[in-house]
Amino acid sequence: MKARFLYAVLAVALALSVSACGSKEKAEETPAAPAATASAPVDPAPAGSITGTVKLDGPAPKAQRIRMDAEPTCAKTHTTPVMSEEYVVGDKGGLGNVVVYVKDGLGNRTFDTPNEPVVLDQNGCIYVPHVIAVQVNLAVEILNSDPTTHNVHPVPSNNKEWNKSQPPKAEKIVETFAREEIAILVKCNVHPWMKSYIAVLKHPYFKVTGKDGAFEIKNLPPGDYTMVAWHGVLGPSADQKVTIGAKESKAIEFTFKP
């Protein structure tokens, strides 16, 4: 009796195992969903633009000197003190290194990835530029122009993390980021003062401000948009709603408090 019961249990277990294997094989045979194709190109005839300025309301914190004494090779590349780029402010309060972008309003539109890569250099043992913005899947080429080894280490929350050593005069590192993320901190594990940011967006409607804080986002289809400005220390601004008519240009201003 016990033997019959044991055989029955084993038979049921074998049947379940075969069924599970069959399901797994079917799942593995199921083709992946096709990649989304880009929407029709934006018609430039009625397209508009958004211009403006990002400003700092009040005096910027005093820039901190970057000490490279622990790495003489880095220190020798500079003849004057190197200051932090967290706050880059122009004469009229314009705030640099800010990513201004369309947060909402493009609907389900998808966009081709540009062919031209974006370059992030390590020059004088700092990242140049301090902030870059790219579309998803766009190639980011990372160079080492220094006579010392660096260690490039992006620390994302929504993309793949990686960590690569790059000796002097080594081949460029080429990487892409598959998911939208604003923004990814990039550090160097060898030189702790080195820091940069990479903003990744699904569309081409963004701009990184220079020292004057100015920006212009062109070729926007007529519509209602939500705009945001993001700073590495101060974070995102409040949303701003903008309506663009055919061939219309609208000006807006973002203000951050230090």
Q: What is the pLDDT of residues 51-61, one digit of tens each?
A: 999 999 999 99
Examine the pLDDT at 5 and tell me if it is beyond 90.
no
One-letter amino acid identity for 10?
L
Confidence of residue 41 (pLDDT cuts 50, 70, 90): confident
What is the rounded average pLDDT of the residues 210-223? 97
**Cα–Cα distance between 170 and 177 in angstroms, integer?**
22
Could you count the other beta carbons within 10 Å of the beta carbon of residue 25?
A: 10
Average pLDDT value over all residues in the chain = 88
Q: Is 237 exposed, middle or buried (0-12, 13-18, 19+ CB in 10 A)?
A: middle
Please give the pLDDT value at position 9: 42
Which position has the token pair 């409040």?
238
Confidence of residue 19 (pLDDT cuts 50, 70, 90): very low
Examine the pLDDT at 27 and tell me if it is beyond 90.
no
What is the rounded average pLDDT of the residues 20-37? 45
**Cα–Cα distance between 258 and 255 in angstroms, integer?**
10
Examine the pLDDT at 8 and tell me if it is beyond 70.
no
Which position has the token pair 């974070």?
235
Non-local CB neighbours of 163 within 8 Å, separated by 6+ positions: 151, 152, 153, 189
Residue 133: what are its φ and ψ, rounded to 5°? -130, 135
Please give the pLDDT value at position 35: 52
Confidence of residue 36 (pLDDT cuts 50, 70, 90): low
**Cα–Cα distance between 209 and 107 in angstroms, integer?**
25
Residue 6, helix vs strand vs coil: helix
Which position has the token pair 């604003």?
182
Which position has the token pair 């493009």?
106
| Residues forming a β-bridge with 56 | 256
- Its pTM stands at 0.84
Please give the pLDDT value at position 91: 86
4/146: higher pLDDT: 146
